[in-house]
Amino acid sequence: MIVETAQRTRQTSEYYFSVKLAEVRKLVAEGHDVINLGIGNPDMMPSDETIEALTDASHKPQAHGYQPYTGTPTFRKAVADYYQRTYGVTLDSNSEVLPLIGSKEGITHISLTFLDPDDEVLVPELGYPAYRAVSQMVGAKVKEYPLREDFGWQPDWNVMGELVTPRTKLLWLNYPHMPTGAPATRELFEEAVAFAKKHRVLLCHDNPYSLVLNKKSPISLLSIEGAKEVAIELNSMSKSHNMAGWRLGWLAGAKPYLDAILKIKSNVDSGMFWALQEAAATALANTDEWHRERNAVYEGRLEAAQAFLATLGCTWDPKQEGMFFWGKLPESVESAEKLVDELLYQKHVFIAPGFIFGPKGQRYIRLSLCTPKERLWEAAERIKG
């Protein structure tokens, strides 16, 4: 006998990369040299000081017991200092910062906190799949809002306003945008805050890419006047500090929102390893020069990524930011899904098809820059044959 699963398991599917990476591992186990350009998994190290701080903290007796659900004061203060220094945003470290086991966990906690069954969520038609998947898992209704390709993949606010009903509770936003690389701007964030106030929805901004290949000063949504009244912001150490496997992030925003989310979070998980939080506080104090050096490496990979796309006949927007590169397929390519499988099984190169980020991505592919430039060039050479 097999017990029937809950309805939510039939409303979503296994994460695309979970399935595809199993195929990649199988090919590698068979002896094939697969170049993985699909995943945003930073291949560089955290700072030396961060590793040393982790090592030192791990030897202290207080490191190994349960930790507060709200994180350690040291980590919260480091986040607040980082926001002030990086974005010019003032946060009360005791009440406006809630540490998380990465942003992905935060998406679930936010959804469980604010969404009842049949509530509505505004999700970008191209975006991180978890926004859509988690909304569906909690029984909410997903409404995709359009992004204007002819306007730099910005939201179409007029159309979005027509989607709002009395059941609309949340709006997910993510700039610099994944997967298109569209930059964040103050004008965009000002429009978003004004929209949230007008329509009385909670604006949830996911901000993990602001320090990666940013062509200007990084921006936080919370730097916009009045944002804390209607918005919360997710951020993490994964991309900006090369700490994806550490599972460290946070939620920033007004105390009433964070207190509500803590009610859910405290019933789901416990505090993070103390030594991780101590080391993360050190990482958040990395110098501007450290970040410039990491970005110089990513910059050095762009030429190879562009050569790869050019070989496939793709076009792209050069103003992209973040650690991915988004390319539009030529009409001669039948489908992104077929192309991805052909490249994986015939050339042993794995890339991400755009449709996994939303239906509008059917004619696009995404490359990760988290691979040494030599391997990117090798991938470009392989597909020429």
Q: Which of 57, 86, 59 is nearest to 72 (CA)?
A: 57
Q: Residues 28-55: what's their mean pLDDT? A: 95
Q: SS3 of 80, please?
A: helix
Q: Are strands 364-368 and 352-353 parallel, antiparallel or unpaired?
A: antiparallel
Question: What six digits make up the tokens of 55?
Answer: 């090592």
Residues 63-97: b if buried by 16+ CB within 10 A, e if exposed:
beeebebbbbebbbbbbbebbeebbebebebeebb
Mean pLDDT taken over the chain: 94
Cα angle for residues 132, 136, 141 (degrees, 5° grid) = 90
Please give the backbone phi and psi of residue 232, each rounded to the nearest 5 degrees, phi first.
-130, 155
175 has pLDDT over 80:
yes
Residue % of the chain over a pLDDT of 90 = 87
Q: Which of 289, 297, 299 is nearest to 215 (CA)?
A: 299
Q: Give residue 73's pLDDT.
A: 97
For 248-273, how does the pLDDT look when each residue is reduced to its tens digit (9 = 90+)?
999 999 999 999 999 999 999 888 99
Q: Give residue 7's pLDDT.
A: 78
- Calpha distance 367→38 (Å, rounded): 6
Residue ranges and CATH numbers for the domains of the chain are 7-45+288-382 (3.90.1150.10), 64-283 (3.40.640.10)
Q: Where are the alpha helices (DSSP H) in the chain?
A: 16-29, 48-58, 73-87, 103-114, 129-137, 157-163, 186-199, 227-230, 255-265, 274-283, 288-311, 336-342, 373-382
H or E stretch covering 368 = strand 364-368
Q: In this structure, what DSSP letter does residue 10 have?
A: G
For 284-329, how does the pLDDT look when each residue is reduced to its tens digit (9 = 90+)?
999 999 999 999 999 999 999 999 999 999 999 999 999 999 999 9
10 has pLDDT over 80:
no
pLDDT band at 15 (very low <50, low <70, confident <90, very high): low
For 62-74, how does the pLDDT look when each residue is reduced to its tens digit (9 = 90+)?
999 999 999 999 9
Q: What are the distances in angstroms from CA 205 to CA 30, 251, 332?
A: 42, 10, 37
Cis geometry, peptide bond prior to residue 208 (ω within 30 degrees of 0): no
Q: Give residue 14's pLDDT.
A: 61
Half-sphere exposure of residue 318: CA atoms within 13 angstroms, side-chain side: 3
pLDDT band at 39 (very low <50, low <70, confident <90, very high): confident
Question: What six digits make up the tokens of 130?
Answer: 């978890």
Q: Give residue 13's pLDDT.
A: 60
- Calpha distance 310→383 (Å, rounded): 11
9 has pLDDT over 90:
no
